[in-house]
Structure 1
Amino acid sequence: MESRHLRYALALAEHQHFGRAAAALGIAQPPLSQQIAALERELGARLFDRTARGVFPTAAGEAFLARARRALAEMSAAVSDAGRAARGETGRLRLGFIGSALLELLPSVLGGFVRDRPEVRLGLQEMSTRRSTAALLAGELDIAIGRGAPRGAGAEELVSVTVGRDHLVAVVGAAHPFAGQRGVSLEQLRGQHLIIAPADEEPVVAAWLTTLLGEGSEAPARAGGFTEARDVHTIIGLASCGVGVGLGPACLRVAAARPDIRVCEVSPRVELPELVMSFRAQDRSPVLAAFLDTTRERCPGVSERLERGLGARR
């Protein structure tokens, strides 16, 4: 039995006439009659009564047609579902990201992806660069967004693309002495209590800040001490309380647009490690491909770099 036999039987039940059913199907009447007869022999039951008034389903035919309708509907749905999955319109995407990615990159890319593919199941988790890289290599994530290119064992298995660049700014409360200044120097920062990302969360950034602000791992503590904050919102909140000077990417201006906060440029300008999107080179997921397509559309400056990375993967 084939799907065409089901369509033939349904057409005959609808038109109640072999000639009209054959015309609707686009075939000749004799082949239709032959196929219906062969179907009845295969099932061992008469599906239609042939009368002078027309062709009508028997009790066996009614039972068969009810199942045939459902079977054809399921086959049509299977074809549709397969196509949607192949286009990345269904499935799952697991994304690990640092908090600052929500200030600039993800609102546009993730927002567009969700609108275009509402049926994709998203697994989103804020995590440090080191943790997201490990999770990506372990197959627990599909995409990781962090500061700096992944390093260490297994990094060669990843495609890593720069998706953003930023520089360092200082955040202070409205009552802080720096609040009236447009900029602060590195020398001024060395004497302040600093609010920074934890070394175990962002070791690349933490090591870089330590080198920048003083020699040796204890330099910031000797100067003015430091407080660790795991995301830019905590940095801003602590700075507003007068705890100290927060240090973070310039994109945090979006979250720091409040009357009790001032943002100062750091002089000379200090470039932060690049914001990098990474994924496994051998990952052929249509959902991942769709997310990368959305990234191209929403981030024009990233498109060329992404193409180079994908070219290397191919």
Structure 2
Amino acid sequence: MESRHLRYALALAEHQHFGRAAASLGIAQPPLSTQIAAIEREVGERLFDRTPRGVFPTAAGTAFLARARLALSEMTAAAIEAGRAARGETGQLRMGFIGSALLDPLPGVLGRFRVARPDVRLDLREMNSLDGTAALAAGELDVAVGRGAPRGAGVDGLVTVPIGADHLVAVVGTAHPFSGYAEIRLRQLTAEQLIMSAPAQEPAVAARLRDLFGADAAALDAATISRDVHTIIGLAACGVGVGLGPARMRLVTRKDIWFCDIAPHVRLPDLQLSFRAADDSPVLAAFLDVVRANCAEVGSRLDDVLARREARSIKQ
């Protein structure tokens, strides 16, 4: 039995006349009579009484029509939900990210995505770059935001684009001798108690710092290790030492801290957004559209990726 058969029965119940029901459906009366009779044979019960006063549902017909209305309503809802899912308006986006990305650009990106796709459920997990890459390659995430190029098994199947450049800055409490200085020299840090993220949290940054410190890398080995940039800032405010982190830490406004640039300028590995090349999820496509509109650093590479995805979708 097809959905049109249900509509035929409902139209007949509404108009109580074969001719009027047929006209409302845009078909001739004989085919409608034939179809109603076929429905009754399939159901095995008489669904309508044909009387001189009109056509009326029997008890069996009343029960059938109630279910028919529900079935048609569910079919309509199913078609609507299918369309919304195909447009990326429903579903789930699983994202892993490093903590510093919450300073910028994730607040703007996620905020705009929530407005554009309010019915998409966000599964957000803070994790270091290596763990994020591993989870993405294993299919446990849809998107990963980390620092530096992804490393490890499965990276060949990922697409990675930069979403934020950054450089190294120092943060100190306002009572520290560096407070008030716009810039300090890198060599001045070798005699300080440093505060930094664990190498496992930011391996690309740790490797960059070790190269820069060279023979003075002992200062890094003695550093106070923190979990995220907010802890680095908090410990610096307490006078524990000099915090090192990305320049986006400046977005944290506190009266008890001071940020200093470091000379020579130390470029950090870019923030990178990665996703699986074979992932054709409409939700992911919708998220990438928001990223492209809000992160100038993605450049033409993401444009090319999204254009290829759109072309593939049209062909399908």
TM-score (normalizing by structure 1): 0.94
Distance 1:5 1:311, change over 3 A: closer
Tell me which residue corresponds to 1:307.
Answer: 303
Q: Distance in 2 between matches of 1:312 and 1:4?
A: 38
Tell me which residue corresponds to 1:286.
Answer: 282
- 1:308 offset after TM fit, Å? 3.6
Q: Distance in 1 between matches of 2:307 and 2:45?
A: 60
Between stretches 211-220 and 33-42, larger displacement belongs to 211-220
**Amino acid of the structure 2 residue aligned with 1:47:** L
- 1:312 offset after TM fit, Å? 8.0
Would you say 1:232 and 2:229 are equivalent positions?
A: yes
- 1:287 offset after TM fit, Å? 1.3
- 1:149 offset after TM fit, Å? 0.8
* Structure 1 unpaired stretches of 5+: none
- 1:219 offset after TM fit, Å? 4.5
The answer on whether the counterparts of 2:190 and 2:216 sit within 8 Å (CA) in structure 1 is no
- 1:216 offset after TM fit, Å? 6.7
Tell me which residue corresponds to 1:266.
Answer: 262
Report SS of the residue matched to 1:283. Answer: coil
Distance 1:216 1:170, change over 3 A: closer
- 1:152 offset after TM fit, Å? 3.3
The count of aligned residue pairs is: 310
The answer on whether the counterparts of 1:214 and 1:220 sit within 8 Å (CA) in structure 2 is no
Tell me which residue corresponds to 1:102.
Answer: 102
TM-superposition CA deviations, 1:166-212 (whole Å, max 9, x none): 11111111111111111111011111111111012222211211221
Q: CA RMSD in A?
A: 1.7
Report SS of the residue matched to 1:201. Answer: coil
- 1:151 offset after TM fit, Å? 2.0
Tell me which residue corresponds to 2:89.
Answer: 89
* Structure 2 unpaired stretches of 5+: none
Tell me which residue corresponds to 2:74.
Answer: 74
Q: Distance in 1 between matches of 2:246 and 2:265?
A: 12
Tell me which residue corresponds to 2:293.
Answer: 297
Distance 1:312 1:55, change over 3 A: closer
- 1:76 offset after TM fit, Å? 0.8
Q: Distance in 2 between matches of 1:139 and 1:216?
A: 41
Identity in percent: 66
**Amino acid of the structure 2 residue aligned with 1:133:** T
Tell me which residue corresponds to 1:277.
Answer: 273
Between stretches 233-242 and 17-26, larger displacement belongs to 17-26
Q: Distance in 2 between matches of 1:247 and 1:214?
A: 17
Tell me which residue corresponds to 1:207.
Answer: 207
Between stretches 116-125 and 160-169, larger displacement belongs to 116-125
Between stretches 240-249 and 283-292, larger displacement belongs to 283-292
Tell me which residue corresponds to 1:244.
Answer: 241
Q: Distance in 2 between matches of 1:259 and 1:285?
A: 45
TM-score (normalizing by structure 2): 0.93
The answer on whether the counterparts of 2:130 and 2:152 sit within 8 Å (CA) in structure 1 is no
